[in-house]
Amino acid sequence: MKHKNKYHQSGFSLIELIIAMTVILVMLGAASTLLFRAFGTRARESQRTDALISAQAALDAMSREIANSGYGLETNGVVTADSNAQRLHFRANVINDEIYQPGNSNNSNSSSSIITLKTDDPNEDITYYFDNSTQSILRYDRFANPATTVIVNQISSVKFDYFDYSGSASTATPRAVPTNDTGVVRITVRVQLDPVAGQPNNRTVTLTSDVTLRNSEYMRYQY
């Protein structure tokens, strides 16, 4: 006579195990997708923050110095023949250095002197430009040692626009090259962000700053 084991319990069937494993795999896949997207978003925002910091640092460094273009001179200080949309060359008499030369002795005013304003000291003859090979903004100081320094790297492009002012009037349209009437320089810094998996491509960060040349004719006219 066979006796039934009262403690015997039936287990999961193969179909039930397959269903359970399928549900677990689907849940793990969904969680992995969410985690992957979260890491991608974090990487994207980290890149964007770094780009903003770099671009802002470049704008701050250039704006302070460009605003003093023409300081101690009788012009806006911009070297028009050597400036364009990709580079800006300007001078300033920061040390307020002058050369006095005797006037023409044949002149009725024999005590008159010719004053030459000097711009041959460090920080007085500056060129900002973009170096594509190093993706950097460079500062060239003609009378400094070393003459060339890196302002900031990991930059994709720099653009200079020029706004002319004559008397109390101004041009609303930016120019690609400056003139003796240029009173405002617009600096545009662009950073191309690296691709991030799961995020849109061709992302850029662009910052713009308008710098007023304090010694331009327009600004002197205001005061």
Number of other CB atoms surrounding residue 130 within 10 Å: 21
CA distances from 196 to 9, 45, 184, 192 (A): 53, 10, 37, 12
pLDDT digits (tens, 9 = 90+) for 133-149: 988 899 999 999 999 99
Mention every residue, 6+ apart, whose C-beta is less than 8 A from residue 169: none
- pLDDT value, residue 125: 95
- pLDDT value, residue 110: 46
pLDDT digits (tens, 9 = 90+) for 181-220: 899 999 999 888 776 666 677 778 889 999 999 887 766 6
Domain range list for the chain: 20-222
Question: Alpha carbon 62 to chain centroid distance?
Answer: 9
